A and B are shown apart, each in its own frame.
Chain A
C-alpha cells in the first residue's frame, strides 16, 4: 500500500468519525429535555432571612428528628456548633457579616442569617446523576429522599448538587450519605402524617415557614410588593393553617425570590434583604444542568440503538480486517 494514500484515508477516517460523533452530540442539544415542572402537590418551605434571629432552634430540632448527635466545639456544650452541613448535620444557620455588623439585614455594615439545608429542587441534580436510583424525587410532593440500601457511595450526588447538600460520613468505615428529606423519610414521615417539618415547627418567628409550594410562592411574591417600613402580619408554622400571626415592620426586601426559577426552581425558597451571592448562593441560571446532561446522554444512547448500530458496524469492519492479516498461528490479539 502506498504510504501517502493510507495516511490520507487514516486522517480522513478519524476526522469523519469525530465529525459524526460531534454531529450526534450537537443534535443532542437540540433535543435536550426541558427543565422539569414543579410536582403537582409540591410541599416546601419559605425561608425569610429578615425574620431569622439566629436562635438555631431549627438546628437542634433537626438533629432530634433525624436522631443525630450535636456538633460540639471546645467546651460550648450548651449549643450546637455545626458550621456547615456534614454527615451528621442536615441543617445549619450561617451568619453574614459586613464591616461593623451594626445593623440587622443591611448589606453594608450589617449582618443577617441564612439557612442551609436541602432545597428540594424541582429538577434535582442529585436524583439525575445517581446510578443506583438511591436519590428519589416524589412525583406528587416533590420531596427528594435518599435510600442508603442501594447507595454505593460514589458521591456523584454531592458533586451534582448545586448547593453541596448531600454529605458523606467520611469518618466512619461504614458511612452513608445524609441529607434533609423534609422530615418525611421512613420512620419519621412527618409530612405524610399531616405534620409540618421539624425546623418550621420550632421556628419562633416564622422565618422558616412550611407549606405547599404554590402558597409559599404567593406569599413570597406578596412580600416583594410590600413597602419598607409598613406593618405586615407575618404567619408562623404551616402557611395553610398558621399557628399564629404577628405584626412586624417590613424590611427592605431584595426583589428576588431564590428558588422561583433558579436551575428549574426549588421547593425550599429564600427571600432576603441581602443579595444572595453574598449569602453564598451559587451562580445559577434558569436552565437546570441535569436537563442538559440527560439530553446529551439520551441522544447518544437512545435506547442503546446507536451503540448497537455502532457495534454491528464495528464487528463487520473488524472481521474484515482481522481476516486480512491473520497469521497461521492465530496470534491475533
Chain B
C-alpha cells in the first residue's frame, strides 16, 4: 500500500468557487489581450518599462515561490535528509503548478506569442543571452517536474509496471531537477546585469547577481514548504507536521546568515553602504526588505520559537515577502529606465495575474483531493 493518500472530500467548496470566479474574470482580459486589443489594451507596459508584473511577478517571483520542490530535493537527495521525504511530493506538486503557470505567464507576456517556438530552434540560439538559458531551462524543468510528479498519477491509475520502470530512472530526473533550477534561478539574477544603470545601485551588484538570486530562491523554496505544510495542516485539518518543520527552520537560519553576509558584504565591497541611509525611496525599500529578512532570522534562532508552529509560519511568511520584495525592488519598484517613464500595473494586468494564481490554487486543491499526494498521517 502506498504511503501517500488522496485527501478526498468535496471539490466545489466555497473558496474554490471564489477562485473560479477570479479566474473567469481574468479569462475576459486574456481574450482582450490575445484577440481584440493586444498587450497595450490591457496593460500599462511602455517603452521604458517593458517588463511589468507579468514578468516580474508571474515568472521571476512566481518561480521562486515554486522552488519548494527544488529546495527539498537538495535537502533530501543531496544532503540525505530522509526525514523530510514526506514533504517532497506535495512540494513537487506545488512546484509543478508554479512553474507551469510561470511558463504560461511568460507566454501571455510574449509580444510575439504566435512564434514562441523560435526560441526552441537551435539555429536561432544566441549563447550570450541569459534569456535563452532561462527560457530553455524553465521549459525543460517543467517537463522534469512532470516526470517527478508522475508516480502520484500512476499510483492512482494503478499502473504498477509503468511505475516500477519509472522509479528505476527517477533518480536521473531528480538530479536534473536539482541542476536546472540552480541554473535558471541564478540566471534570473543575471538578467539584471545587462540592465546596467537602470537597476538601482543597491540592487545592481553586477557579477554577484546570480549568487544572490540563487540564495533567495533556495530560501524562498524552504519557506514555501514551511508555509504550505503549516497551512495544509490547518486548512485540511491534518496532524501537525511541526516536528519536521523545526529542522527546516535550522537550515533556513544557516542560509539566511550566509545570504545577509554576502548581501551586505558586496555592498560594503562596492562602497555602497552609504546609499542605505540616503533617505530616498530606494533606501526605504532596502531597509523594509532587510527588516523582513532579519525578523525570521530572529524568530528561528531560538530553539523554543522554532518548535512553535505559529512562529514558524510567521517566519516563513516574512521570508517569502522578503524574497519577493528583493526581486520586486530590483526589477520594478526601484527600476529607473530614465526620464519620462512610469509604471503601475493596470487593473486588467493585475486581474490576469490574480487569475493565474487562482487557477494554480484550484488545481492544487483538486489534485491533492484526487491523487495520492499527501503523506499518510501514521507515517507523519
Contacts and interface: CB of A to CB of B under 8 A. Distances in A.
Contact of A318 (B178, B247, B338): B178
A173 B124 contact: no
A297 interface: yes
Contact of A131 (B47, B50, B126, B211): B126
A125 interface: yes
Interface residues of B, number: 104
B207 A26 contact: yes
Contacts of B127: 301
B163 interface: yes
Interface stretch (A54-62, A151-159, A220-228, A243-251): A151-159
B142 to A, nearest CB: 16
Nearest to A162: B196
Contacts of A327: 3
A134 B123 CA distance: 12
Contacts of A294: 128
Interface string B220-261: 000000000000000000000000000100110011001000
A329 interface: yes
B194 interface: yes
Interface residues of A, number: 88
B183 A128 contact: no
Interface in A161-196: 162, 164, 167-177
Contacts of A152: 110-113, 115-116, 118-119
Q: Which residue, of A86, A176, A282, has the highest number of chain B Cβ atoms within 10 A?
A: A282
B3 A329 contact: yes
A170 B39 contact: yes
Interface string A42-80: 000000000000000000000000000000000000000
B20 interface: no
A131 B36 contact: no
B195 interface: yes
A29 B207 contact: yes
Interface in B132-163: 132-133, 135, 148-152, 155, 163
B81 interface: yes
A133 B119 CA distance: 9
A21 B113 CA distance: 34
B170 interface: yes
B368 to A, nearest CB: 14
Nearest to B115: A152
Given A25-B208, A295-B207, A324-B82, A307 B183 contact: yes
A333 B211 contact: no
Contacts of A231: none
A125 B50 CA distance: 15
Interface string B314-340: 000000000000000000000001111
A311 B131 contact: no
A129 to B, nearest CB: 5
Contacts of B132: 131-132
B144 to A, nearest CB: 12
B171 interface: yes
Contact of B2 (A21, A158, A317, A329): A329
Interface string B293-326: 0000000000000000000000000000000000
A229 interface: no
A318 B77 contact: yes
Contacts of A40: none
B26 interface: no
A324 B80 contact: yes
Contact of B254 (A10, A156, A300, A321): A10
Contacts of A164: 47-48, 337-338, 341
B354 interface: no
A84 interface: yes
Contacts of B348: none
Interface stretch (B85-93, B275-283, B356-364): B85-93
B272 interface: no
Contacts of A118: none
A170 B40 contact: yes
Interface in A244-297: 263, 280, 282-284, 289-290, 292-297
Given A128-B128, A315-B175, A175 B164 contact: no
A21 B186 contact: yes
B342 interface: no
A331 B41 contact: no
Interface in B6-45: 34-41, 43, 45
Interface stretch (A11-19, A105-113, A201-209): A11-19
A22 interface: yes
B104 interface: no
Contacts of B188: none
Nearest to B112: A153
Given A132-B118, A176-B112, A292-B206, A333 B149 contact: yes
Interface string A82-112: 0011100000000000000000000000000
Nearest to A319: B171
B112 A284 contact: no
Contacts of A32: 207
25 contacts: A14-B255, A21-B210, A29-B207, A130-B131, A131-B125, A151-B111, A153-B110, A164-B337, A168-B39, A168-B45, A168-B50, A170-B38, A283-B197, A289-B194, A292-B206, A296-B209, A297-B128, A300-B186, A318-B178, A321-B77, A325-B85, A329-B3, A330-B164, A332-B151, A333-B89
Given A32-B207, A131-B132, A170-B46, 4 more contacts: A153-B110, A159-B51, A170-B45, A333-B150
